Amino acid sequence: MAKREDRFEAKGLDQAAVESLAARLATLAPSAGILSLRGDLGAGKSTFARAFLRSLGVTGTIRSPTYTLVEPYDVEAPAGGPARVLHLDLYRLADPEELDYLGVRDELDDALLLIEWLGQAQGELVADLELSLAGEARRPQHRDIVLRALRPLGRRWMTRLGRS
């Protein structure tokens, strides 16, 4: 595992290790911001989001936002953490203006956003932290992860991760 204040890399993580990282990030999460989840179809973005949400006390079914585009959750975060998390999948977003119809901009100051396929927003939303997931055909149960801080909030989040 390679760590810097603005970058973290890990190779060959099994599902338990990926879920553990999701839980650590969730418990250290700021009250608002954007975490971009990148990776090909089937890379584990939704699985990561589920583990993140579970660690914040979400029980019951955690739906993939594949068709709804956004799924909101009120959560039980540690002090200073998010009270609300929105999980978005923008793969099917036809136009960035749809973000207004979804009410996403109204939530930016008060919620943490986990966003799959952020590029579909065409620059209308900017990530603070970016998590890239990749796998190999020869090792389908393992993931390589790169976590990068893209803005000051992301750097602070990464600093807390490095201290935990």
Structural contact between residues 145 and 132, judged by C-beta atoms closer than 8 angstroms: yes
Give backbone dihedrals phi and psi of 121, rounded to 5 degrees, phi first.
Answer: -80, -5
DSSP per position, 95-155: -TTHHHHHTHHHHTTT-EEEEESGGGGTTSS--SEEEEEEEETTEEEEEEEEEEE-SHHHH
Q: Which residue has the higher pLDDT, 137 or 93?
A: 93
The amino acid that residue 69 corresponds to is L
SS3 content of the chain, % helix, strand, coil (to 5): 30, 30, 40
Mean pLDDT of 78-92: 93
- For domain 2-163, give the CATH number: 3.40.50.300
This prediction has a pTM of 0.93
The string of pLDDT tens digits covering residues 95-147 is 999 999 999 999 999 999 999 999 999 999 999 999 999 986 567 688 999 99
